[in-house]
Amino acid sequence: MAEATPLKIGLIGLGKIAVDQHIPSIKGNPALELVAGCSPHARPEGVKAYPTFEAMIEAHPEIEAIAICTPPQIRHKIAAQVIATGRHVFLEKPPAATLGEAEAIRDLATSKGLTVLASWHSRFAPAVEATREWIAARKLKSVHIVWKENVRQWHPGQKWIFEAGGMGVFDPGINSLSILTRILPQKVIVKAADLHIPVNCQAPIQAELTMTDETGLDIRADYDFLQTGIQTWSIFIESEAGEKLTLSMGGTELEVDDKVLIKEKEAEYSGLYAHFERLIRAGKSDADFAPLRIVADAMLVGHHIDAPEYIE
Ligand code: NAP
């Protein structure tokens, strides 16, 4: 049987994540073809780049699917424009700035028979599914997320992150919530949050969340965007029987009772793109907004605490 022709992809937003992950992942997948990209200013090597979506589509009407890699605040407007032209859509995380916007994008794509992928790259980390299986066989006592990174190191020049809708420390923190909502069998409920917001910013730079589920599980999360030295992207889980599981390095390493079970290099975006391609070929969508709902709920119940001015 003849191989299917590669799916023709366009990118919107050619910043850090497009260059670090999307471009190499598309180029590394023979079932996909990177046709072009657009961004107001960025012109990365190896991509035919246009200043606007309209210019890209006019030059390349053959594009079948678009990955939107812009900051979240403008994602809804852009996604609506992409869907109106009949292209499938891959949304970088978070899928939009609000739940309402995310749902509107999903509904619009569905009404046009197009695929939408609300991508959560951390769910494709190598130790996440094994953690899910470990949890499924046990009764848990507690879950503690510790997600601490240096914003100056990982997000240089990204002013949008501390503007309204940029989510601040939840921009990386939502990755931990995408893992949490994948590995736990029950829905997560936010009970309380402390949100530390620099006096010159609109979004938190540190946050502590108290959560639970229908079984009363003790779930906590500590987020810090000012972490220097060792960076931590870990989830510590204890079972009622006293067993201890640690999922660390963003989901690439798994330890149970101090024994290393998985330690692998991440290949999250190649997994994500394979998933996107399969969804399109099957005429399906994957639009789970549970991680975004937790952030939204934390913002609803959160105590706002003034933090010192943030200067990059
Ligand atoms: P970034 O480096 O600031 O890049 C964003 C890009 O979007 C910029 O190149 C910018 O264009 C472009 N852009 C802005 N307005 C646009 C518009 N109207 N049309 C087309 N392009 C537009 O940010 P990033 O780190 O790549 O993050 C983008 C998204 O990916 C965020 O939602 C983030 O959470 C997610 N993400 C980031 C990472 C990471 O490690 N950085 C990891 C996973 C997911 P110009 O530069 O051309 O002006």
What is the model's pTM?
0.97
C-alpha 56/C-alpha 228 separation (Å) is 40
- Render pLDDT for 187-223 as a digit per residue (tens, 0 to 9): 999 999 999 999 999 999 999 999 999 999 999 999 9
At CB < 8 A and 24+ separation, what contacts does 257-266 make?
261/127, 261/130, 262/126, 262/127, 262/130, 264/126, 264/127, 265/126, 266/125, 266/126
When the candidates are 3.30.360.10, 3.30.460.80, 3.40.50.970, 3.20.20.70, the CATH number that belongs to 122-265+296-307 is: 3.30.360.10
- Render pLDDT for 176-186 as a digit per residue (tens, 0 to 9): 999 999 999 99
- Render pLDDT for 55-70 as a digit per residue (tens, 0 to 9): 999 999 999 999 999 9
Dist. CA 232 → ligand 1 center (Å): 23
Q: How confident is the model at residue 1 (pLDDT cuts 50, 70, 90)?
A: very low
Please report, rounded to a whole number, the percentage of residues in the chain having pLDDT higher than 70. Answer: 99
Give the single-character DSSP code of 213.
-
Ligand 1 pocket, CB under 6 A: 12-18, 38-42, 69-72, 74, 92-93, 121, 158, 171
When the candidates are 3.20.20.70, 3.40.50.720, 3.40.50.300, 3.40.30.10, the CATH number that belongs to 7-121+268-287 is: 3.40.50.720
pLDDT at 235: 98
- Render pLDDT for 29-53 as a digit per residue (tens, 0 to 9): 999 999 999 999 999 999 999 999 9
- Render pLDDT for 109-161 as a digit per residue (tens, 0 to 9): 999 999 999 999 999 999 999 999 999 999 999 999 999 999 999 999 999 99
Which atom of ligand 1 lies at the shortest distance from residue 158's CA? Answer: 3
Is it the case that residue 25 has pLDDT exceeding 90?
Answer: yes
Token pair 């006096």 is at which residue? 199
Q: Tell me the average pLDDT of the chain.
A: 97
pLDDT at 2: 46
Q: How confident is the model at residue 281 (pLDDT cuts 50, 70, 90)?
A: very high
The residue count of the chain comes to: 312
pLDDT at 267: 87
User: Is 93 an active-site residue?
Assistant: yes
Report domain extents, the chain.
7-121+268-287, 122-265+296-307
Q: How confident is the model at residue 3 (pLDDT cuts 50, 70, 90)?
A: low
Task: Kindly report the number of other CB atoms within 10 A of residue 122's CB atom.
Answer: 24
**Residue nearest to ligand 1 atom 21, measured at CA:** 13
Dist. CA 58 → ligand 1 center (Å): 22
Q: How confident is the model at residue 22 (pLDDT cuts 50, 70, 90)?
A: very high
Which phi-psi region, left, alpha or beta, contains residue 261 (left: φ > 0; alpha: ψ -120 to 50)? Answer: alpha
